[in-house]
Amino acid sequence: MEWIKLTDRMPNPDEHDRVLIYTEGYDFNGEQVFDVKAETLNGCFYADPEDQPEVCKAASHWMPHPSNSGSPNWTGEQKAANALRDLMDALPTGTQMSMTAFRPEVNGQRAGAVKALLMADNPDDLRAAQWVISHGSSKRGSDE
């Protein structure tokens, strides 16, 4: 699958319920991919443009969600594996990746486990992103 520029063509929600979107520099100053409902990319969908999710405003490219294709009898695990393989095939050569699991704290209480797929251009940026997630602060080396 190839990335499609949002300026070239928007996804049709009637054809694609969910899509993958690509942002660069939105968070952690790196490339990120998000799974969103196709309709959320259209700012006209919202009565107030401020209601559109920030990641959708920051997106530059999209592709059909890989789980939208293939056998309808695939298990969730098979669909996830196929989606991850398709996503990895679409990334630029040399992209560093890591799966990070963490338990965020919300209002003083530990939330359930969250898994994040991190991508960066080099190993140092990847380690920095992992550090930020595990320590909850973007001020690396601070006492907080």
Q: How far apart are CA 24 and CA 22, in angstroms?
A: 7
Residues 6+ positions from 102 with CB-CB distance below 8 Å? 113, 114, 116, 133, 134
pLDDT at position 31: 74
Q: What token pair was written down for 78? A: 């098979």
Amino acid identity at 12: N
pLDDT digits (tens, 9 = 90+) for 116-143: 777 777 777 777 777 776 666 544 444 4
pLDDT at residue number 10:
92
- The whole model's pTM is what? 0.50
Q: Rounded to the nearest 5°, which phi and psi values hold at 34?
A: -125, 150
